[in-house]
Amino acid sequence: MFIGETKTLWQNIGQTLWYLQTLEFALGHYLVLTQVVPGDKDEAYNQLDKSFKVTLGRLVAKLKESLHVHPEIEGKLEHLTDERNWLVHKIYRLHHIDIHDIQRFTKLLDRINALGNEALNLAKEFSILCEQWCIANGVKEKDIDAEFNRRLQEGWNT
């Protein structure tokens, strides 16, 4: 009887959750950036704090309510939300015996890794959209780079 390496499973789940939170972080920033009146830093930080308290599904719903989202991106986000909910709420119930079968275990790991990769790719896309929005609204690239470097050194709490 095969017993999958559970350490690998936990690491993959952890990494995927990390990437999902990276996407939530990027979506929250994008929503605030595109909706708060420019120059109102207090309101921006207030809205950003609120965005960190909601789920990916709620962020996606807010995005769809407030902005025109390309149907391809919307479809990706909806699929990703469904997969995130599977990972967070259903994985044990549906797959706890998969560690006893190498083919099912491999398929499970592949699904988890695909979810993580998709989340990370979308986070990168939204980060690029944030940068493009800033540049289109008069922020200089050197200022974006300076802020990025400052946050790398000080942390990304907001």
User: Would you call 52 helix, strand, or coil by DSSP?
Assistant: coil
How far is 50 from 104, CA to CA, in rounded Å? Answer: 39
Among 96, 105, 87, residue whose Cα is nearest residue 14: 87
User: Cα 148 to chain center, whole Å?
Assistant: 18
Which stretches of the chain score pLDDT less than 50?
Answer: none
pLDDT at 12: 96
**pLDDT for residue 33:** 85
- Residue 49's pLDDT is what? 83
Type of residue at 62:
K
- For the whole model, what pTM was predicted? 0.85
CB 16 within 8 A of CB 115: yes
Distance separating alpha carbons of residues 114 and 111, to the nearest angstrom: 5
Q: With contact defined as beta carbons under 8 Å apart, do 21 and 2 qualify?
A: no
pLDDT confidence of residue 120: 96
Alpha carbons 158 and 155: distance in angstroms, whole number:
8
User: How far, in Å, are 45, 63, 97, 126 from residue 69 at the CA level?
Assistant: 23, 7, 39, 12
